[in-house]
Amino acid sequence: MSNKKRIPKPPGGQLVCSDEQMAIVEIRNGEVFAECHDQPSKVRKAFGDEQARFMMNWALERITGEERSLGQSISAAEFEILQSERYEYTDRRGNEIIVEFRLPRAQTSGGTATF
C-alpha cells in the first residue's frame, strides 16, 4: 500500500509516499512543490494519546512552517486544519499559498489515503 495525494489541476498529478510518511503538496505562485515526510523517531516511539498529540504537532509544524513542541496542546482551529487536510495562507509578499496533505496512514481513521 502507499499514501497517495493527488496534485490539483493545473498541472495535476499524484504524489506517492509510503504509508508511514506524510504527503504534502504545496502550491505557490502556480508552482507545485510535493514532498514525502518521515515521522521523527520520537513520534513513532510514543504510544496512545501521546503519540497522537506528538504526530499532530509534528504535522502542524511541517504544514504551517511554525515551530511547535511535540507536547503542545492542539486548538480547535488546528484540529480543523488536520481534519480538512488543507491549509491556506498568504505569505509576507502577499502570495496565496495552498498546502494540501495526507497524514500517515497509521494515524488516519479508516486507514485510507486515496482520493
Q: Which residue has the cell 487536510?
A: 85
What single letter denotes the amino acid at residue 105?
Answer: R
Residue 102 Cα to chain centre, angstroms:
5
Asked if the model's pLDDT at residue 112 lies above 70, the reply is no
Average pLDDT over residues 40-59: 94
> With the CA atoms of 6, 107, 72 and 59 taken in that order, what torsion angle do they form, in degrees rounded to the nearest 10?
-20
The tally of domains found in the chain comes to: 1
Domain that holds residue 32: 3-111
pLDDT of residue 113: 34
pLDDT of residue 111: 35
pLDDT of residue 106: 59
pLDDT of residue 3: 72
Comparing 23 with 108, the larger pLDDT belongs to 23
* Contacting residues for 48 by C-beta, under 8 A, at least 6 apart: none
Task: Summarize pLDDT for 55-93 with one digit per residue, the tens.
Answer: 999 999 999 999 999 999 999 999 999 999 999 999 899
* Contacting residues for 3 by C-beta, under 8 A, at least 6 apart: 16, 17, 18, 19, 20, 21, 22, 23, 36, 102, 104, 105, 113
Task: Summarize pLDDT for 8-38 with one digit per residue, the tens.
Answer: 676 777 889 999 999 999 988 888 899 999 9
